[in-house]
Amino acid sequence: MKIIFVVGARPNFIKIAPLVEEAKKYPEISAVLLHTGQHYDNEMSQVFFDELGLPAPDIYLGVGSGSHAIQTAAIMVEFEKICLAQKPTVVVVVGDVNSTLACSLVAAKLQIPIAHVEAGLRSRDRGMPEEINRVVTDALSDLLFTTDEEANKNLIGEGIPESKIRFVGNVMIDTLLKFKKRAGLESKITISNPDYAFVTLHRPSNVDDAGRLAKIFSVLFEISKAIPILFSVHPRTKKQIDNYVCQNYFYYPPVETGAPVILKNALNIFRPLPYLDCLNLMAKAKFVLTDSGGIQEETTILGVPCLTLRKNTERPITISQGTNELVDVEPNNIIEHTKTILDDRWKKSSVPKLWDGRAAERIIKIIYNQYAKNGSE
């Protein structure tokens, strides 16, 4: 049987790595790794392949950036050619990026079975492009692998047959648990400050809205008076920072010398961090502020308080069981939660069910059992 594993953007690489590794344990499976090129530069793509031990992509589409329509269409045109030539038994897509949607649309129209890893997550906010990608991909998929039981309920509520749904755990946590110790040993960046906050920010709803972004920077600057902030800056956000009028908010510490980095009481700007550096620095942070979905999950496993700069989340289990809280961009709300963390009064958390490092094992076994016979005919 032949499986095409689709990746396109930074979060995909972390999720696909354990799946490709597990598939290699089955002699009957021919695993084809396809990279659409949605994220394409070294800091957002190649470094993840290097650190996670992913093989070089068997197929690289190289679609690059563009509007949602342009990018999705470009992926569809190229992926259709691949499917017609490769004739895969099943296409595996992960997450909720444009590559996920585009390849699912192509596979569905060619009547190739689709397995969606991380299915059923819902924010109920159609203003998020990712929410549209999730809903459409789930509607097209033949196997829907969920990270928690709330996702199962979402899918059933949308009319997805229970026979298609499999609760398997979280592949992102597979990768985290595998690399957590190594991250501490191999991280190239060490911070001299005993306490600091870790920040990521990339969603268009925050970054491209001048009013929201100004509010975020203002409150982060206030927080930095109490604790230094390490700000790992996404390329999209970096463009906005370069144009921002209040440049005195930002400090660019030298991080290439190998010496421990001394953070100032400011927004200390770092380039996009490789996975091991990011994991290590998050694990040692006093708390995290983010608008990333994956980081809400990672901080839950790391036991690090997380403040999510959004009005909603597709990962409510990180709030009900984990370390996460939604704070939107309301200054008083953010400051109040920050004080609670700095006073060591943050809520207790627990590890969600099946977030045990074995999700990929379950997923590949299910795919193999369902499609191996068809693949060998």
Distance CA 346, CA 342 (A): 9
Pair 79, 164 in one domain? yes
Does this model's pTM top 0.85? yes
Query: Which amino acid, residue 326?
Result: L
154 and 110 within one domain: yes
Q: What is the CATH number of the domain that holds 324?
A: 3.40.50.2000
Q: Do residues 271 and 301 both lie within one domain? A: yes
Per-residue pLDDT reduced to its tens digit, 36-53: 987 555 555 677 788 888
Q: Is the pLDDT of residue 7 over 80?
A: yes
Q: State the CB neighbour count (10 A cutoff) for residue 14.
A: 27
User: Which residues sit opposite 5 in a β-bridge?
Assistant: 33, 92
Same domain, 192 and 287: yes
Q: Tell me the one-letter amino acid at 282.
A: M
**Are the CB atoms for 261 and 192 separated by under 8 Å?**
yes
pLDDT at 35 over 60: yes
Per-residue confidence (pLDDT) for residue 377, from 0 to 100? 34
CA angle 205, 314, 38 (to 5 degrees): 60
Do 69 and 211 reside in the same domain of the chain? no
Let me know whether 8 and 148 are in one domain.
yes
Residue 350 lies in a domain: no
**Using one digit for the tens of pLDDT, what is the confidence trace for 331-357?**
999 999 999 999 999 999 999 999 999
Task: Tell me, yes or no, whether 160 and 186 share the same domain.
Answer: no
Q: Which of 116, 202, 234, 337 is catalytic?
A: 202
Using alpha carbons, select from 103, 108, 101 the residue that is nearest to residue 131.
101
Tally of domains in the chain? 2
Residue 238 has pLDDT above 90, yes or no: no
To the query of whether residue 68 is one of the catalytic residues in this protein, the response is no
Residue 200: enclosing H or E segment and its boundaries?
strand 197-201
Domain hosting 275: range is 180-342
Cβ pair 227, 196 in contact under 8 A: yes
- Establish if 214 belongs to a structural domain: yes
Helical segments of 66-148, H only: 68-86, 98-109, 129-140
In a domain? residue 52: yes
- Whether residue 349 lies inside any domain: the answer is no
Regarding whether 226 and 197 lie in a shared domain, the answer is yes
Q: Is 251 helix (H, G, I), strand (E, B) or coil?
A: strand
Residues 33 and 108 placed together within one structural domain of the fold? yes
